[in-house]
Amino acid sequence: MTTQLTGVATARTAPNPAQAVGLMLLRNYLVYRSAWKIFVTGFIEPVLYLFSIGIGVGELIDTFEFNGRAIPYAEFVAPAMLAASAMNGAIYSSTFNVFFKLKFDKLYDQILATPLSTGDVARGEIAWGLVRGGVYSAAFIVVMLVMGLISSWWAVLALPAALLIGFAFSAVGMALTTYMRTWQDFEKVTLLQLPLFLFSATFFPISALGGWSWLIEISPLYRGVVLCRELTTGALSQASVISVVYLVVMGLIGLVVVRRRLSLLLLK
Amino acid sequence: MVNEASGESVELMISARGLTKTFGEVEAVRGIDVDVRRAEAFGFLGPNGAGKSSTMRMIAAVSPPTGGTLEIFGLDPTAHGAGIRARLGVCPQQDSLDTELNVFDNLYIYGRYFGIPRADVKARAHELLEFVQLTDKADSRIDSLSGGMKRRLTIARSLINSPDLLLLDEPTTGLDPQARHVVWDRLFRLKQQGVTLVLTTHYMDEAEQLCDRLVVMDKGRIVAEGSPLALIAEHSTREVAELRFGVGEHEGTAARVSDLGERVEVLPDRLLVYAEDGEEVVTKVHERGLSPVATLVRRSTLEDVFLRLTGRTLVD
């Protein structure tokens, strides 16, 4: 039995912001190393949608026009599922998981007792959402490729696009989570998430919505869907540029809010 | 600060002057002065709500002071938070362990947060598990640990960076007697190795066992300061006679024994008579025809000092 502590393990310089993000990722990696099955299930959902709606319903539809081109219906739906799964994955890990760590596990209190800061926690957790979402998106892009649903080299940018969507929704999701008081508050998130998923030009073009289409055009998932769809079909337009700027700004605002809220909540 | 006897400079680990902390309308800490020197074991005593934990959070550089000055290692925690935290060990009141990781990984990742290299932190983690007798639990889940084990793990974690200053917020609250003694033993060893300990407690025996010096806090202020023995000498008598009467009889009986000691304290379940000779008090009580259900003569403890200073028991 050791009764005297002899070893001295010290580091007198605090980790820099990049190292801090790495450490937050390492922590999450250690958690999922033994829970990889939970990790894998996140990939299943968009694939199921793709098969049932894209392929199943697609059988009933001849061809479909997108940005002046005729494309098969499955090719229309697949990039939307890519964008939607990036959103869903990001919202899931930045709301439920973060709420648990914030309120019940007191994980961030533990971390803030070390040299790490609230900015490190915010960036680290959002980065983890990106890594997780990125793995799902990459796998989904491979499925699309195998099924012949990609028709342009621009599609290599679909993965960064999915990561950008993940960043925007992770940051805003985590920011909203800092305002949550109980688990019931998350029903409001689900209430927002479902219409976004159904109406953001995921399964049909927004022209079908007539006078309401402007509302969809300024909503975040639509921007992501447009971006992914233009990249995988190769039918690029200025809408993609608008989408990129929109999502970057959304993510940065979320990040600033998260950092300020964590300081307010945890460094009282 | 210069030690007058030796002429050597004494390093101040903590120095607070007029320190205050306000949460909205609530003044949790109302202007306290505290100095803690290197290798000292220093205690904050007080009932719940006295401002102990708020003070500890300010010292831990996770809560900005509202007013006054505070220096940890001679540094301002508002400006040098990360640098200060790098040299601190913090054992919070509630065990907040990372429940999604096993015992070893809790220590490993925590050490990594401090920027300690992989190999060093692994070696240190193994050594600390040994130190708190949890080596055979290295791969266990946190949920499977007992309260005492969790507390020992939290203490081990707070030592991962070989801190210069260890902050312990109620280190043995909620532990059974055996577990408390293990924790005390480990803290005592650390103290002997020269680690500066700052702890809060509302267990008087804990303060007497561990602290070289302590302050009693009440309603956000320091009401007494000194070594446990000095405080007892100053604020209490040598002995205490505890007299237990029937339910509801204590208030009425107090007046009939009040001249037997320097002071009488009425508790819900007993009377405490403070005197130099407790046995003599008990004898006289019987001579007066009073027949307490039970009597006990004991030495004065910090608890008596506490009752005197804060005017209430510690159960609130």
Q: Contact A87/A200 with Cβ under 8 angstroms?
A: no
Residues of A in Cβ contact (< 8 Å) with B123: 7, 9
Contact A3 B131 (CB under 8 A): yes
* Backbone CA torsion sign across B27, B29, B30, B31: negative
Collect contacts of B306-311 with beta carbons under 8 A, ≥24 apart. Answer: B306/B45, B306/B204, B306/B216, B307/B265, B307/B272, B308/B235, B308/B236, B308/B263, B308/B265, B309/B216, B309/B218, B309/B223, B309/B224, B309/B235, B310/B46, B310/B47, B310/B50, B310/B216, B310/B218, B310/B223
- Interface mutation target, options B22, B101, B114, chain A, most CBs of A under 10 Å: B114
The pLDDT of residue A7: 57
Residue B312 confidence (pLDDT)? 59
The structure tokens listed for A248 are 């970057």
Of chain A, the end-to-end C-alpha distance in Å amounts to 40
Angle between helices A118-146 and A158-177 (to 10 degrees): 140
Cβ <8 Å between B110 and A266: no
Task: Indicate the pLDDT class of residue A10, thresholds 50, 70 and 90.
Answer: low
Q: Are the C-beta atoms of residues A32 and B101 closer than 8 Å to each other?
A: no
Sole residue written with tokens 């601190």 = B88
pLDDT tens-place string over residues B126-148: 999 999 999 999 999 999 999 88
> A231: Cβ–Cβ under 8 A, 6 or more apart, which residues?
A79, A152, A154, A155, A157, A158, A161, A240
Report strand pairing: B213-218 vs B41-45.
parallel
- Closest alpha carbon to B53 in B158, B230, B171: B171
Domains contained in chain B, CATH given: 12-232 (3.40.50.300), 237-299 (3.30.70)
Q: Are the Cβ atoms of A2 and B123 closer than 8 angstroms?
A: no
Output the pLDDT for position A4.
62
From A2's Cα to the closest Cα of chain B, the distance in A is 5
B268 touches chain A (CB under 8 A): no
Task: Give the sign of the dihedral formed by CA A258, CA A262, CA A263, CA A268.
Answer: positive
**If residue A158 lies in a helix (H) or strand (E), which one and from where to where?**
helix A158-177
CB contact under 8 A, A14 and B127: no
Nearest to A115 among B82, B99, B189 (CB): B82
Q: Are the C-beta atoms of residues A137 and A219 closer than 8 Å to each other?
A: no
Give dist(CA A124, CA A17) in Å, integer.
Answer: 9
Do B85 and B58 touch, CB atoms closer than 8 A? Answer: no
Give which of A145, A173, A14 is closest to A82, Cα–Cα.
A145
Rounded to the nearest angstrom, the minimum Cα separation between B285 and chain A is 50
Residue B217 contacts A, CB cutoff 8 Å:
no
CB contact under 8 A, B109 and A266: no
Chain B residues 41-70 within an 8 A CB cutoff of chain A: 57, 60, 62-64
Name the residue of chain A whose CA is nearest to B56's CA. Answer: A113
Does B82 contact A at CB distance below 8 Å? yes
Give the residue ranges of chain B where pLDDT is below 50. Answer: 1-8, 313-316
Q: Both tokens of residue B266?
A: 């009425």
Q: Considering only residues B241 and A37, tell me which one the structure prediction assigns the higher pLDDT.
A: B241
Q: What percent of chain A has pLDDT over 70?
A: 95
Instruction: Check whether A183 has a pLDDT greater than 60.
Output: yes
- Structure token pair of residue B134: 């949890």
- Provide the CA B77 distance to its chain's centre, in angstroms: 22
Structure tokens at B210: 């561990």
Please indicate if any CB of chain B lies within 8 Å of the CB of A41: no
For residue A106, give how far its alpha carbon lies from the nearest alpha carbon of chain B (Å).
6
Q: Do B161 and A11 touch (CB under 8 A)?
A: yes
Residue B138 forms contact with A (CB below 8 Å): no
Structure tokens at A239: 């809408």
Among A54-63, A121-130, B274-283, which stretch is predicted with the lowest mean pLDDT? A54-63
pLDDT above 70 for A3: no
Give Cβ neighbours of residue A191 (< 8 Å, ≥ 6 apart). Answer: none
* Res A1 pLDDT > 60: no
B114 versus A10: the higher-pLDDT residue is B114
Tokens 């300020």 map to which residue?
Answer: A260
Two tokens, residue A82: 């890519």
Find residues 112-151 of chain A whose CB sits inside 8 Å of chain B.
Answer: 112-117
Q: Is A105 on the interface with B (CB under 8 A)?
A: yes
Q: Record the pTM.
A: 0.86
Task: Provide the residue count of chain B.
Answer: 316
In a mutational test of the A interface, the residue from B100, B129, B154 whose CB has the highest number of chain A CBs within 10 Å is B100
Contact B86 A27 (CB under 8 A): no
A114/B114 Cβ within 8 A: yes
Nearest CB to A4 within list B57, B116, B193: B193
Q: Say yes or no for a CB contact (<8 Å) between B86 and A11.
A: yes
**What distance in Å separates the CA atoms of residue B95 and residue A153, rounded to the nearest whole number?**
53
Is the confidence at residue A212, as pLDDT, over 90? Answer: no
What Rg value do the Cα atoms of chain B yield, rounded?
22
Q: Which chain B residues are closer than 8 Å to A105 by Cβ?
A: 96, 98-100
